[in-house]
């Protein structure tokens, strides 16, 4: 059973690309699966253009689905009790926070092709610009910050301008 924390809404008026768009959900003990969490993410991302914002680029959406799957699966496997997810989109950054009731910190294990499982946090770190873990009174929250890849054409143009201007 999903219990919505808040509706998808911008904090500020209008369609400012920098205003934060937020959505969250909390699940009762044993009531969530990674598929359900990915559906919540997909609904959030599908809502983004309805707010007048530019749609989230497909590569960022794919990475976000991977992060949601890994973080929610970790919460299911390693923490008794409820868990929740908060999604925040601001500018070109999508922050995915998953909280649970376990105080145990997630471990990034070395890559090992012979091991089955245990690669999730390594993958989360690989696709995220930053990953933070914060202890809560009961449990913890893990936040992955994902950013859209820079526009290659814009970067090439910027480099060409700098090459044309030796004073830059």
The reported pLDDT for the residue numbered 162 is 45
pLDDT in tens, 115-136: 666 668 888 999 999 999 999 9
With a CB cutoff of 8 Å and minimum separation 6, the contacts of 47 are 8, 21, 23
Give the chain's largest Cα–Cα span: 62
pLDDT in tens, 49-88: 999 999 999 999 999 999 999 999 999 988 888 999 999 9
pTM for the predicted model, two decimal places = 0.78
User: In the structure, what pLDDT confidence band is assigned to residue 159 with cuts at 50, 70 and 90?
Assistant: very low
The reported pLDDT for the residue numbered 154 is 44
Would the pLDDT of 167 be above 50? Answer: no
Percent of the chain with pLDDT over 70: 74
């Amino acid at each position: 059973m999903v219990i919505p924390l808040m509706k998808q809404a911008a904090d500020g008026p209008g369609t400012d690309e920098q205003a934060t768009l937020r959505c969250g959900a909390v699940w009762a003990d044993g009531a969530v699966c990674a598929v359900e969490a990915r559906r919540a993410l997909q609904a959030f991302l599908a809502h983004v253009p309805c707010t007048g914002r530019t749609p989230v680029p497909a590569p960022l959406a794919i990475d976000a689905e991977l992060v949601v799957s890994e973080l929610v699966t970790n919460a299911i496997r390693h923490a008794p009790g409820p868990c929740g997810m908060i999604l925040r989109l601001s500018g070109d950054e999508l922050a995915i926070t998953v909280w649970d009731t376990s105080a145990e910190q997630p471990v990034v294990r070395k890559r090992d092709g012979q091991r089955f499982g245990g690669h999730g946090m390594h993958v989360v770190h690989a696709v995220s610009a930053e990953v933070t873990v914060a202890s809560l009174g009961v449990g913890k929250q893990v936040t992955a910050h994902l950013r859209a890849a820079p526009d290659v054409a814009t970067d090439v143009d910027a480099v060409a301008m700098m090459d044309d201007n030796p004073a830059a």
